[in-house]
Chains A and B, each alone.
Chain A
């Protein structure tokens, strides 16, 4: 029975399946439109954001970790000092998401009834920096120090022997907070995954206040009043960042092969990775002829597709579906938002292209270190 569950979990955790599942289910949990909202209510998914739902959620996670602890393979990974923060992170991520959503749903209901949100303090909704804020922050600081010291004593830092370039560990993993980036490297050229995307993430986060023209939902928990923004951010944060870190920690084994959590990390495991460039799809497989000598001709299809995605798609969208949005945001803000949004979207797109078509690069010019 337990074995079957483990096998099922192993099977589901394969990135293709789990990523698809999460992506499909995500709008049901955080409905960005009325359609999903209806579904959400019909399936009573919003019940998760109640105390009972939270209890069930935490019980499920704990059962999963308990199963992991009793499993000889998963235990090795789980008990590593390096992975302790990941376990903490999973708990805290679920907790804070649940907590925020619970509060939001309460507030949403109140606002619908015409009441003030729960955070509203009469008479003037006011908190003082001193002593209220600074004092509380000081206490929080001390308590957090206590926590860090206890952590450091009970789970010693996993310091190892001096690094040895002649004997590197397999798999060689980045620190846990960079595992999301390392996972992106599977799908993108290092220039994109290692340089451009991190920059865009930072710039994008800085830009959020300037992109946000929604005046509602300010200073209190609320979902309905900014459900699209909430959905996009949470998808980027939970799925494209946290989830990738979890994959990198628990599911990537020797040779960066994928392993289910209960699988043995066999260093001999081999997987087919016959990756093909778009140019090869077009010229060799499609037209049945050799690749053109001229690099630009060879990659012309790639340039065309990328051009359509980056330059044409925003314009088309502005004229059709996102007509209202374009009007509200204005051309500059809209353009900037599109750059960020399309870059973010390119990650799942590229992942699926890889999984379904074994697509390596859309534009692949290793001669110029230019690969997309």
Chain B
């Protein structure tokens, strides 16, 4: 066909060619687009995981097959035999089956007839009823006007249909019965076969399960049709129905994410790639398939944090909706990891996502979001250490943290400093605290990165001078009082110091190497994604929460260079007199004991510190500082006039006030005139959520641009962000340097990252889950007053045992304390501690707590053991009961009086094994607990010398001579261990005698001393293992 009629000026063939080329190109691009669109990163992982899953399932199948190897044949043979005998009856079965088919057909017809008839009956019934109703209506209007037999036309029809239906029903039921009979016969033939088949299936359950699993996973095990289906279900567009490769997600309704002021539930798609996260089979699989390292605590549905409720980003942060490596905002924990990721995943940071994933080392930070009211968690050591450090270093004095408030000023009051130290010491101390005590909590304000030039040093010296003068309004202390009135025997003092309990909170340690002195690039050591400082070859004490317990109070080294005997003596006798807020308890030392300890502490001198020259102060500099401050608040001329009118003392006073304000001395110490001072630091309540651009990196470009890198650097060198900046003295960064160690920095950063504004539903916040909020106060007190320095509480603490050396002479493990003692007794004991364990030299100190504080502590103990505070009735024992008599008998076999006091009656054995007064038990212990204790003392208090009493079992009690040995009351208990323990308990609760035997014991030790231990140690305790 030709188109020459058409008018055209372009070559149509050329256009056609171009059209075909472009169309083909377009088609190709279209296909490419589909391919590209469906080639998601997660699908690649899912394909890889499928292979892995096949491998793992096959391995498991192999194991399962090995397991059933032994008896599988047996079951199978049995089944085959049954099958054979079943098959041998095949002729009979066949005839039954054909019969059944025939009868079923008859039944079907009969049933149909019956049902049709029933429908007819129902209709007739309606018509008949209708007739009756209508005839009654007529009755009312014109009575007897109608013919009677006309009235019920349907009556007969109805009844005849009814009787027909009944006969049909009989017929149907007859066939039904026949069917059942035949079916039963068939079943009987099968019965034994079915049993052996079930047995086989139960035995092979695991194998069958794995086989089914594999048939869904492994394409090579599928039928051709299923293989095709498996392919088609993942084709583009068709994959909306039931794809194998798909985005997995969980919507955690209680975990909110703030999208531009609207809170939406977090949606976590992490399991699209982390496919083995909830399956322990993949614990050694490569990432991203590795299972969660702690499935008991997280992810699994039986754990307290199931995946369906918490998702992933509640703890790990990051962008839950991300379905590839970069868009989920993974964050590297180290520079090496960063480089590896960049190469492997083209990793880059997404800048505008406010909650980037926490690097693995900081994941614990998230615990704080919900556990803020009791953050000292098992398994949350790093967070707990960080929070403890924040409290100890007093970070929350300067930085308000709403969720972790300070309870008091962390430094001692400076209101009557003249009683304690002299001016010269104070100035040297402020200037360089670590030169006096290498591990003091007092941080370094001076000689830092931004103030160690000559001009700053001169200025700082003048400031220190002015502050010191301000702290001594009445001049320096008149004289050092080291009179013998306050000094006893230093050697005895050392013994006492180590024995009575001081070591629960204090050490007296000579200097070890402080990291600040080590020749490392300390200020930049955390550069770039947490590159760790090389601390190899540097010996220093690695800090963890446990090692921190002994530093509750200061290291008491160098006291002889600091203060005098009078102050130490008075302090030991009554710490609250000098410092009303002190955490130092009263150990109720006698005068002589106090003197001895004073002598011991006074014997430590810091000669290097003594030799340091006093500060060089230039008075012109004072004037200069005053002027600079004045100019900040007044016009220049007025400032000059003011300065001229000031006397020398006034200038010093002015500079002191300005400096104390500037450095924030009053935030940690009570300073006269600064009672209403506000915290000077940035509020840290939501610091972990602070947008990155609110953190001033200044000119420091060598560290990673992340919030945690900034925090790390800030803690390592607080002034570094002033570097290369031109800043006036009054505007310089002033956060002091605590010389934290690397692991301390990591812990503190963990805590800071936990201070967020993230939102969780109320039912996820631990505070709302505990009814009595006092519990949290109790936990806090236990933590802050370092109860765990001496006692093991909730599985943590008791470091003083390391000093004492033996668990049985150390303060008791407070495991099960909540169910152990009667609350009212415990309350009494706290307020007025008496001697419970007679052979312990270490003492329970007296804390000056209010009643509500003690209540809170008791509630916390009860909470640990899941017990609420209950009023409990007096436990009364029926002395006439047979059970009591059995207890009395059993008790004689236990020989309790070998170790235990019975009121004022001393135990039979030596001091080493002395144990609590049994006359006190009825007042002190809870009856249920005593039974648990008697059952197995060592599980409750590991290392106790208390043996479980011997309890005869039913076999022993059935012996011939049992009656004569045990008596009829014991035998009546029938060998019931529980009952017999209760019987002993009942007896113990009737032991009479004095309950408080403190004086008795004190007197004994006054005469005999505490040296009993060393003599007998070798023969008695050789086999003890601590």
A-to-B contact residues, CB < 8 Å: 121, 126-128, 131-132, 135-136, 138-139, 142-143, 145-146, 149-150, 152-153, 160-167, 169-170, 268
Known A162-B259, A166-B691, A167-B692; further 17 A-B contacts with Cβ < 8 A? A121-B9, A128-B8, A132-B9, A135-B15, A135-B19, A136-B10, A146-B26, A149-B29, A149-B30, A149-B32, A152-B33, A161-B350, A161-B352, A164-B354, A167-B352, A169-B351, A268-B699
Question: CB within 8 A of B33: which of A128, A136, A153, A163?
Answer: A153
If A160-B352, A167-B693, A169-B352 touch, whether A146 touches B259 (CB-CB below 8 Å) is: no
Inter-chain CA distance A204–B33, complex, in Å, is 41
Assess whether B12 is interfacial by the CB under 8 Å rule.
yes
Count of residues in B whose CB is under 8 Å from the partner chain: 29
A160 with B15: CB separation less than 8 A: no
Checking A127, A139, A145 against B18 with a beta-carbon cut-off of 8 angstroms, the contacting residue is: A139
Q: Mark B1-32, 1 if CB is under 8 A from A, else 0.
A: 00000011110100100110011011001101
User: A150-B29, A153-B32, A162-B259 are known contacts. Are A131 and B352 too (CB-CB below 8 A)?
Assistant: no
- In the complex, what's the smallest C-beta–C-beta distance from A257 to chain B, in angstroms? 16
Q: With A128-B9, A143-B22, A143-B25 in contact, do A136 and B354 touch (Cβ < 8 Å)?
A: no
B7 surroundings in chain A (CB, below 8 A): 128
A139 touches B15 (CB 8 A): yes
- Could you tell me if B26 and A142 are in contact, using CB atoms closer than 8 angstroms? yes
Whether, in the assembled complex, B319 has its beta carbon less than 8 Å from a beta carbon of chain A, the answer is yes
B691 A131 Cβ-Cβ under 8 A: no
Interface pair A165/B260, CB less than 8 Å apart: yes
- Are A163 and B19 also in contact (CB < 8 A) when A128-B8, A128-B9, A131-B12 are? no
How far does the alpha carbon of A163 sit from the alpha carbon of B261 in the complex, in Å? Answer: 12
A121 to B9: give the CA distance in the assembly, Å. 9
Asked if B479 CB lies within 8 Å of chain A CBs, one says: no
Whole-angstrom distance between the alpha carbons of A170 and B694 in the complex?
Answer: 13
In the assembled complex, how far is the CB of residue A126 from the closest CB belonging to chain B, in whole angstroms?
Answer: 6
Q: Residue A132 contacts which of B8, B319, B352 (CB distance < 8 angstroms)?
A: B8
A142 adjacent to B8 (CB under 8 Å): no
Q: A153 to B7: give the CA distance in the assembly, Å.
A: 41
Which B residues lie within 8 Å of A126 (CB)? 9
Cβ-based interface call for B149 (8 A): no
Q: How far is the CA of A170 from the CA of B692 in the complex (A)?
A: 13
- In the complex, A172→B18 CA distance in Å? 44
Determine if B22 and A139 form an interchain contact, defined as CB atoms under 8 angstroms apart.
yes
> Is the pair A146, B9 in contact by a Cβ cutoff of 8 Å?
no
Q: Are A162 and B260 in contact (CB under 8 A)?
A: yes
Interface residues of B in 736-779 (CB under 8 A from A): none
Whether B353 contacts A139 by the Cβ 8 Å rule is: no
Shortest Cβ distance from residue A363 to the other chain B in the assembled complex, whole angstroms: 36
Known: A149-B29, A161-B350. A131 touches B36 (CB 8 A): no
Chain B contacts of A164 at CB under 8 A? 260, 352, 354
Q: Can you identify 5 A-B contacts, CB atoms within 8 angstroms?
A: A139-B18, A146-B29, A149-B29, A153-B36, A268-B699
Q: Who on chain B is nearest to A124 by CB?
A: B9
* Docked complex Cα distance between A197 and B260 (Å): 33
Query: Nearest chain-B residue to A145 (Cβ)?
Result: B26
> Which residues of the partner chain A approach B351 to less than 8 Å between Cβ atoms?
169
Chain A positions within 8 Å of B33 at CB level: 149, 152-153
Q: Which 7 interchain pairs have the tightest Cβ spacing? A: A142-B22, A149-B29, A161-B352, A161-B353, A167-B691, A132-B10, A143-B22
Which residue of chain B is the closest to A160 with respect to CB atoms?
B352
Residues in chain A near residue B692, CB distance under 8 A: 167
- Give the contacts of B578-605 with A (CB-CB under 8 A): none
Among residues of B, the one whose C-beta sits closest to the C-beta of A152 is B33
Q: Measured between alpha carbons, how far is A192 from B263 in the docked complex, in Å?
A: 39
Report Cα–Cα, A302/B688, bound state, in Å. 52
Cβ–Cβ < 8 Å partners of B260 in chain A: 162-165
Instruction: Assess the A131–B8 pair: CB atoms within 8 A.
Output: yes
- Chain A: CB-nearest residue to B259: A162
Enumerate chain B residues within 8 angstroms of A136, measured Cβ to Cβ: 10, 15
**What chain B residues lie within 8 Å of A127 (beta carbons)?**
9
Interface centre among B18, B32, B33, B259 (most CB of A within 10 A): B18
In the bound complex, residues from chain B placing their C-beta under 8 Å from that of A152 are 33
The complex places the Cα of A149 from the Cα of B30 at a distance, in Å, of: 8
> Which B549-575 residues have a C-beta within 8 angstroms of A?
none
Q: Which residue of B lies closest to A144 (CB)?
A: B22
Query: Interface code B349-361, partner A: CB below 8 Å = 1, 0 otherwise?
Result: 0111110000000
B263 to chain A, nearest CB (A): 14
CB pair A138 B319 closer than 8 Å: no
Shortest CB distance B710–A (Å): 15
Which of A161, A164, A268 is most buried by chain B, counting CB atoms within 10 A of its CB? A161
- Closest A residue to B25 using CB positions: A146
Residue of A nearest to B6 (CB): A131
Query: Closest Cβ of chain B: how far from A287's Cβ, in Å?
Result: 29
Residues of A within 8 A of B29 (CB): 145-146, 149-150
Q: Determine whether the beta carbon of A131 is less than 8 Å from that of B15.
A: yes
Chain B residues contacting A150 (CB-CB under 8 Å) are 29, 32
Q: Which residues of A contact B353 (CB under 8 A)?
A: 161
CB-nearest residue of chain A to B322: A161
Cα A161 to Cα B354 in complex, Å, equals 10
Q: Name the distance in Å between A179's Cβ and chain B's nearest Cβ.
A: 21
Chain B CB within 10 Å, residue with most, of A136, A143, A146, A268: A146
Closest to B16 in A: A135
B25 and A139: CB pair below 8 A? Answer: no
Q: What CA separation (Å) do A135 and B22 show in the bound complex?
A: 12
User: Is B25 within 8 A of A131, CB to CB?
Assistant: no
A268 CB, min distance to chain B CBs, angstroms: 8
Residues from chain B with Cβ under 8 Å of A160 in the complex: 350, 352
**Least Cβ–Cβ distance between A91 and chain B, in angstroms:** 22
Shortest distance in angstroms between A74's beta carbon and chain B's nearest beta carbon?
18
How near does chain B come to A174, taking the closest CB pair, in angstroms? 17
**A146 lies within 8 A of B22 (CB):** yes
Question: How far does the alpha carbon of A22 sit from the alpha carbon of B33 in the complex, in Å?
Answer: 43
Determine how close the nearest CB of chain B comes to the CB of A255; give it in whole angstroms: 12
Residues of A contacting B259 in the complex (Cβ-Cβ under 8 angstroms): 162
Bound-complex Cα distance A93 to B260 (A): 40
Complex: A268 Cα to B724 Cα, angstroms: 13
Least Cβ–Cβ distance between B695 and chain A, in angstroms = 12
B354-A167 in contact (CB<8A): yes
On chain B, the residues within 8 Å of A145 by CB distance are 26, 29
A63 smallest CB distance to B (angstroms): 28
What residue of chain A has the Cβ atom nearest to residue B33's Cβ?
A149
Please measure, in the bound complex, the distance between the C-alpha atom of A136 and the C-alpha atom of B260, giving whole angstroms: 48
A170 to B351, CA, bound (A): 11
How far is A139 from B21 in the complex, measured between Cα atoms in Å?
Answer: 9
Question: With A145-B26, A164-B352 as given contacts, are A131 and B10 in contact (CB-CB < 8 Å)?
Answer: yes
Question: Of A121, A138, A165, which is in contact with the most chain B CB atoms at under 10 Å from its CB?
Answer: A138
Nearest-Cβ distance from residue B525 to partner chain A, whole angstroms:
25
Specify which chain B residues have a CB less than 8 angstroms from the CB of A169 in the assembled complex: 351-352
Chain A residues, CB < 8 A from B23: 142
Q: Which of B30-67 contact A (CB under 8 A)?
A: 30, 32-33, 36
Chain B nearest Cβ from A196, distance in angstroms? 32
A209 to chain B, nearest CB (A): 27
B18 to chain A, nearest CB (A): 5
Residues of B within 8 A of A121 (CB): 9
Question: How far in angstroms is the closest Cβ of chain B from A170?
Answer: 8
Measured between beta carbons, the chain A residues less than 8 angstroms from B18 are: 139
Chain A residue with Cβ nearest B691? A167
Determine the distance from Cα of A121 to Cα of B10 in the docked complex, in whole angstroms: 11
- Across the two chains, which residue of chain B brings its CB closest to A128? B8
- Give Cα A160–Cα B692 distance, bound, in whole angstroms: 17
A161, B319: Cβ atoms under 8 Å? yes
Docked complex Cα distance between A145 and B7 (Å): 30
Chain A residues near B36: list those with CB within 8 A: 153
Contacts of A139 in B (CB 8 A): 15, 18-19, 22
Give the residue name and chain of the B residue nearest to A267 (CB). B693
B29 to chain A, nearest CB (A): 4
CA–CA, A136 to B259, complex, Å? 48
Task: For the complex, give the distance between the alpha carbons of A150 and B10 in Å.
Answer: 29
